[in-house]
Amino acid sequence: MARSDVSNARNALERGSRGATPRPLASAGGAGVDTLASFVESLMSGSIDVIDLTQPLSEATPMIQLPPPFANTPNWRTHEISHYDEKGPAWYWNWFEGGEHAGTHFDAPIHWITGKDRDDVAQVPVRRLVGPAVVIDKSREAQANPDYLLTMNDIRAFERRHGSLPEGCWLLYRTGWDTRANDQKAFLNANETGPHTPGIDIDLARWLASESPVVGVGVETVGTDAGAAHSFNPPFPCHQFLLGANKYGLTQLANLAKLPPTGAVLLVAPLKLVKGSGSPCRALALVQR
């Protein structure tokens, strides 16, 4: 998808969010092809592919484990209401219980103390849930060192090769950790010293929050911070700086290997939970073929 198309689509979203009357996808006798009509045609023809970046959510989904005395989210559970039986002969449905931060999920600014006066999930502007995606691949480094930290040098090297990070983009950090997503022990990768998973170093987290055009960071691990981030100063810098700057986190992603370094568009759909600190979500990427 060309950058101009992304810009046009974002502008259309912004007009809609201000209450402007939407135009039809295409007007008879119009001088040009409408951007949205062209987009739909590209989806139908397959020239734009939709990649699912979401992990399945079930009782097998790994959950973060905080040490005592901190409280933990319970494992995800699904309870059957009826299944074409005497409790409901023509329908099947369930109810579920689980945390806001379960599976592939969205972190709202209010999740962290530095963002306590910022947006909850329901208050996040929808236009910020759609935007260009850049993918930085450090899967080889993370395989060699599970405590690998993304740095400013990695960003600069990426920009020399692919150009500057675009305004309003999501930075997606590929580490290959999604291959562990169905194994709680391998996913958390903890020993007597704590969890060991890749993340982002302090200086880069601060820059992403205060100076970069990035609106959010997406990762394949259980959280946006490294497993060892409890020992950093300050601890958990991605949460500390990004959420404090009214930016966002996106975790436990899948299929980042299917995305190009630049050119994809990310769509994030958390539940509109009033006062919610986060939400399980469906994350999708649009890729030009």
- Using alpha carbons, select from 82, 114, 54 the residue that is nearest to residue 280: 54
239 in active site: no
Beta strands in the chain (DSSP E): 48-52, 77-85, 88-97, 105-107, 130-137, 149-150, 169-174, 190-191, 194-195, 199-200, 214-219, 248-251, 264-270, 278-288
Structure tokens at 151: 């740095």
Identify residue 256 by its one-letter amino acid code.
L
Phi, psi values for residue 55, rounded to 5°: -80, 145
CB 72 within 8 A of CB 98: no
Give the span between the Cα atoms of 41 and 81, in whole angstroms. Answer: 40
Please tell me which residue in 101, 105, 111, 239 is annotated as part of the active site.
111
CB 55 within 8 A of CB 251: no
Q: Is the peptide bond before 280 cis (omega within 30 degrees of 0)?
A: no
Residue 160 contacts by C-beta under 8 Å, 6 or more apart in sequence? none
N residues, the chain: 289
Active-site residue set: 111
